[in-house]
Amino acid sequence: MKAVRFYAPGEIRLEEVEIPQIAPDEILVKVKTALTCGTDVKMYKRGHPKVKPPITLGHEFAGTVAEVGETAADRFKVGDRVAVANSAPCNNCVFCKMGKQNLCDRLLETLIGFSVDGAFAEYIRVPARIVQQNTYKMPENVPFEEAALLEPLACAINGNDAANIKLGDFVVIIGSGPIGLTHLQLAKLKGASKVIVTDLKPERLRIARSLGADVVVDASKEDQVSRVKELTGGLGADVVIEAVGLPQTWELAFKLTRKAGTVLFFGGCPSGSRVTFDTERIHYEDLTLKGIFHHTPLTVLKAFKLISSGRFRGRPLITETMQLSNVEAALQKMGKGESLKIAIKP
Ligand SMILES: [Zn+2]
Ligand SMILES: [Zn+2]
């Protein structure tokens, strides 16, 4: 079969490799759609100290079951349409026991596209833990492109839960990429009275509008702090979600928040980044600053429900379709911000 293998930063190759063998508690999935993600772009550009190349990239995918191990046969059969998350927790380590399965000490053991060969390939082996906890049969009416959003949606839901948006809240989302557009939809579903989305690119802001943003702010032309102050009667937002991943936008998120408000830092900054916050504001203004990472089986379940019920609109997050032979071009395009997610069809 064909697979897109990562060898070193800036070096990926489309290769002919063996179809993976599965263990009795695993399944083999024929990939129908794999989506590009910012994480793939980072891996392509910079690699990762814990990744041992070569490895097949791609971790957001959906497809049909092509082979089922003996002990997985009670849950899946050949031909099932499935969406699969990119990892599953061990449920035995101290963080799993604390209820923080997103921080499982053994996460890397089953991390698809990182330690397990990924989905920019014709077939993918799904490790047992993921088969048991984070693989879902999708209804016929859900297209593979939307089913493939299971994992990024599960991460965003984990963030949305942490942000604790309440009925009537005024929410600001910094960044109108796939993650920001996902948070926009979740904030609306949680009952925010107004959601403002900011970005530098007008075409992304148009998508935010079409997905229900009440106000969009073109950060290349308008001052985001004064605009948000103006829209909130000088107060600032109840909840601000940073969905860019830069130190400047982390600091901006802090400035846009009202007294006793919450800032959710969702976008991961380049490693080694430092930010500066006014401690006086944090102390005297009761601010809540939250970080969040990854997903849990519960947020994957919630993502499955939102996708299969049609309450989450995934299609607008996918701007084009390419073949396996074009993954490198797709990652470059995404890296330049010229595209939202790109659907790869093996
Ligand atoms: Zn991803
Ligand atoms: Zn664990």
pLDDT in tens, 189-203: 999 999 999 999 999
Ligand in nearest proximity to the CA of 156? 1
Confidence tier at 244 by pLDDT (50, 70, 90) = very high
Torsion of CA 156, 167, 200, 340, to 10 degrees: 30
Strand partners, 298: none
What is the distance between the alpha carbons of residues 342 and 17, in angstroms, rounded to a whole number? 23
* pLDDT at site 49: 86
Confidence class of residue 126 from pLDDT cuts 50, 70 and 90? very high
Q: What is the mean pLDDT of the chain?
A: 97
Q: What is the mean pLDDT of residues 208-234?
A: 97
b vs e for 73-112, b when ≥16 Cβ sit within 10 Å of the residue's Cβ?
eeebeeebbbbbbbbbbeeebebbeeeebbbbebbeebbb
The reported pLDDT for the residue numbered 314 is: 96
Q: Are 205 and 197 in contact (CB under 8 A)?
A: yes
Q: Contact, 118 vs 55, CB < 8 A?
A: yes
Tell me, what's the pLDDT at 271?
Answer: 87
CA of 222 to the centre of ligand 1 (A): 30
CA 37 to ligand 1 center in whole angstroms: 5
Segment 283-316, tens digit of pLDDT: 999 999 999 999 999 999 999 999 999 999 999 9
CA dihedral over 179, 139, 162, 58, signed as positive or negative:
negative
Ligand 2 centroid–CA 341 distance in Å is 30
CA of 60 to the centre of ligand 1 (A): 6
| Predicted local distance difference test score (pLDDT) of residue 65 | 98
Tokens 């943003």 belong to residue: 213
CA of 91 to the centre of ligand 2 (A): 5
Q: How far is the CA of 324 from the centre of ligand 2 (A)?
A: 33
Q: How far is the CA of 284 from the centre of ligand 1 (A)?
A: 37
Taking the centre of ligand 2 as the mean of its atom positions, its distance from the CA of residue 109, in whole angstroms, is 10
Query: Is the pLDDT confidence value at 93 over 90?
Result: yes
Q: What is the pLDDT of residue 251?
A: 98
Q: Is the pLDDT of residue 36 over 90?
A: yes
What spacing in Å lies between the alpha carbon of 217 and ligand 1's midpoint?
Answer: 26
Task: Indicate the burial class of 161 (C-beta count within 10 angstroms; 0-12, 13-18, 19 or more).
Answer: middle
pLDDT for residue 184 is more than 90 = yes
Alpha carbons within 13 angstroms on the beta-carbon side of residue 108 total 7
Does residue 171 carry a pLDDT above 90?
yes
Measured from the alpha carbon of residue 101, the closest ligand is 2
Tell me the average pLDDT across 174-200.
98
Residue 15: strand pairing partners? 3
Report yes or no: 199 and 213 within 8 Å, Cβ to Cβ: no
β-pair type (55-56, 27-35): unpaired
pLDDT value of position 306: 98
Of the ligands numbered here, which is closest to the C-alpha atom of 148? 1
CA of 239 to the centre of ligand 2 (A): 30
The per-residue pLDDT for 317 is: 96
Distance 23 CA to ligand 1 centre (A): 26
- Give the ligand with the smallest distance to the CA of 38: 1
Looking at the CA of 36, name the nearest ligand: 1
Expressed in angstroms, the distance from the first to the final Cα of the chain is 10
Share of the chain above pLDDT 70, in %: 100
pTM above 0.85, yes or no: yes
Q: Which tokens hold the place of 219? A: 């950060």
Question: How big is the chain by its Cα radius of gyration, in Å?
Answer: 20
Q: How far is the CA of 50 from the centre of ligand 2 (A)?
A: 18
Q: Which domains does the chain have, with CATH numbers?
A: 2-149+314-345 (3.90.180.10), 156-291 (3.40.50.720)
